[in-house]
Amino acid sequence: MTSQESFKKQTWSNEDLWFSLAIVVFGSLFFIPFNGGVPLFDWDEINFAEAAREMLVSHDYLTVQINFQPFWEKPPLFIWMQVLAMKAFGINAFAARFPDALAGILSLLTIYYVGRKAFDRRFAQLWVLFYAGSLLPFFYFKSGIIDPWFNLFMFLGIWYLIKYVSQRHLGLAFISSLFTGAAVLTKGPVGLLIVGLTAFIWMIYTRKWKLFLNGKFILVYLSGVILVGGFWFFLQALEGRSYLILDFFQYQLRLLSTKDAGHGGFLFYHFVILLFGVFPASVFAMPAFRKFTDKNPFQRMTRHWMMILFWTVLILFTIVKTKIVHYSSMCYYPMTFLAAYYVWRNWKREFLLPVWGRWLFAVMAVLDGGLIILLSVFVQFKDHIIAAGWIHDPFAVANLQAKVHWSGYEFLIGFFMVSALLISFFVLKKNKMLRLVAIATSMIISMMLGLLILVPKIEQYSQQAAISFYQEKANEDCYVETWGFKSYAQYFYTNKPLPANRESLDKNWLLTGPVKKPVYMVAKITSMEEFEKKYPGFRRLYAKNGFVFFMREK
């Protein structure tokens, strides 16, 4: 049986349609509601939302702007999605996060379709369960960052490359190139880099050079990538903004070669993130890294591509000096695939994991749930911990002074998570699908409770004092800026209008220039004395939870 024949064998049924409908209902119930309950978080969430807001305010939908100045760090596709959502729902956190909720639904539908086509219905259902029921993949679809769409586009680009290799049809290569181009238009050339590296390593592994190193394929693929991924850059050049393109690519290279401020980390940072952040799929995926004998050639090839994709992303961003959680988020697809694959291959075994895997599952469940319990305990004794001098960061100490109501029962979320996971895994042994559904459901309920109860409290400690100040100034004719730290919140939450004069965009002019309306500056408590020494014209209004608020009269 050829790989092409094995691919075509799977047919779509009414059961598949009903399961797809169930995914849409599930995604609508869990990914969309309550997305506006907590303000957007600096930096990434507010960064993209502010760029979308400024497009609406300026009516310039071609140029990505921050503080109404060209922002060359990101292309516009995701920001355009947020613009459409803001036109529908208003300029708010819900609208900013709505595109990722849609990405969540489409991602689950995609992996069900891919799993069903490459394997069978059970495999597809397992893959959906592992993806939806793991920590970070679920959380990402409740956020307002670029990566859920970026990863989906790259994954589809790789899937159609797999189909191209199987069926030798250039039309499939062209579809792959369109999705890869969409990834480039979403976050930049790293989208092409990841897809290209994955294909290149597979080509070396299989020695099938002619599939990719031929004139027709290269022409077709580059045409698609340039058509979708390059047209915005082309329009920028036509507008005389070639310098923005140069700045954009220089920034991408800098991220790969240097450690971005505030985003450093140890060498195996992403290994730890994936182990804890993609639990429980991470535990089930581990045994899948050993060698298996696949009789079906298309399934074997698909597994090889997923393994290569996983290691390509993980090694690439282990080498990259800037360490950010979502850099390795493309690993979620192959990691949950491997978890589903291992369970699918071992479906007839009494236990779905070897002995070491069972112990690791139990330990990880206790650790992940235990962190929630420890958080609840910490806030009860934070004053004693601060008094003991165990926290050396004055800003963090001041953050913890925020008056946040804790009922004392928040630890039950962690207790529920640990007990439900252990019961689901060790007690529900007779029905394997019921066991896995129970594990995924336990995780989803725990994560929803965490999002609804814990995240708002954490936000009150981390940024609410500043956000509230910005919201208070939204209806005042004034200038609001930060000093000594990077933020985008002062623009988004003050609904900053299109500036009447360009000089007001210069922070030095706001600090010392001849302004005609009040200027407010927000600093952290750690730089308060330095600010007051440099700019005696500002009057300190008050300090709250680590932030200090200053004003200069017009």
Task: Convert the pLDDT of each residue in 278-306 to its tens digit.
Answer: 999 999 999 999 888 888 999 999 999 99
Answer yes or no: do 408 and 538 share one domain.
no
- Is residue 418 a part of any domain in this protein? yes
Residue 45 tokens, joined:
């969430």
Contact in structure between 68 and 505 (CB atoms under 8 Å): yes
What is the pTM for the complete model shown?
0.94
Answer yes or no: do 422 and 322 share one domain.
no
Q: What is the pLDDT of residues 427-456, one digit of tens each?
A: 887 788 999 999 999 999 999 999 999 999
Spatial distance between the Cα atoms of 184 and 203, rounded to a whole number of angstroms: 22
- Interior/surface letters 380-392, b for 16+ CB within 10 angstroms, e for the rest: eebeeeeeeeeee
- Is residue 5 a part of any domain in this protein? no
Domain that holds residue 428: 355-462
- Is residue 2 a part of any domain in this protein? no
Answer yes or no: do 452 and 482 share one domain.
no
- Is residue 391 a part of any domain in this protein? yes
Q: 170-187 and 215-229 are packed helices; what angle lies between their axes, rounded to 10 degrees?
A: 30
Q: Among the three residues 327, 345, 363, which one is the final residue of a domain in this structure? A: 345
Report the half-sphere exposure of 314 (CA within 13 A, side-chain side): 19
Answer yes or no: do 241 and 255 share one domain.
yes
Contact in structure between 300 and 249 (CB atoms under 8 Å): no
Contact in structure between 194 and 151 (CB atoms under 8 Å): no
Answer yes or no: do 20 and 83 share one domain.
yes
Answer yes or no: do 406 and 502 share one domain.
no
* Number of compact structural domains in the chain: 3
Answer yes or no: do 330 and 364 share one domain.
no
- Is residue 6 a part of any domain in this protein? no
Answer yes or no: do 382 and 331 share one domain.
no
- Is residue 350 a part of any domain in this protein? no
Answer yes or no: do 235 and 298 share one domain.
yes
Q: 242-257 and 231-238 are packed helices; what angle lies between their axes, rounded to 10 degrees?
A: 130
Q: Among the three residues 435, 462, 489, which one is the final residue of a domain in this structure? A: 462
Spatial distance between the Cα atoms of 430 and 149, rounded to a whole number of angstroms: 38
- Is residue 3 a part of any domain in this protein? no
Answer yes or no: do 364 and 470 share one domain.
no
3-class secondary structure, 539: strand
pLDDT at 3: 47
Closest CA to 131 of 351, 302, 280: 280
User: What are residue 550's DSSP bridge partners?
Assistant: 521, 540
- Is residue 520 a part of any domain in this protein? yes
Residue 223 tokens, joined:
């045409």
E-assigned strands of 290-440?
none
Q: Among the three residues 408, 428, 462, which one is the final residue of a domain in this structure? A: 462
Per-10-residue mean pLDDT, the chain, length 554: 49 87 96 94 93 97 93 92 98 98 98 96 96 95 96 98 96 98 94 96 93 95 95 82 70 63 74 96 94 88 97 94 88 98 86 88 96 94 91 94 94 97 89 92 96 95 96 96 95 95 90 94 97 96 97 86
Spatial distance between the Cα atoms of 160 and 532, rounded to a whole number of angstroms: 59
Q: What residues contact residue 465 under an 8 Å CB cut-off, 6+ apart?
A: 402, 544, 545, 546, 547
Answer yes or no: do 502 and 361 share one domain.
no
Spatial distance between the Cα atoms of 332 and 136, rounded to a whole number of angstroms: 9
Query: Apex CA 8: angle with CA 6 and CA 12, to 5°?
Result: 120
Cβ neighbours of 395 (radius 10 Å)? 15
Answer yes or no: do 145 and 219 share one domain.
yes
Q: What residues contact residue 98 under an 8 Å CB cut-off, 6+ apart?
A: 32, 35, 82, 85, 88, 89
Spatial distance between the Cα atoms of 250 and 479, rounded to a whole number of angstroms: 31
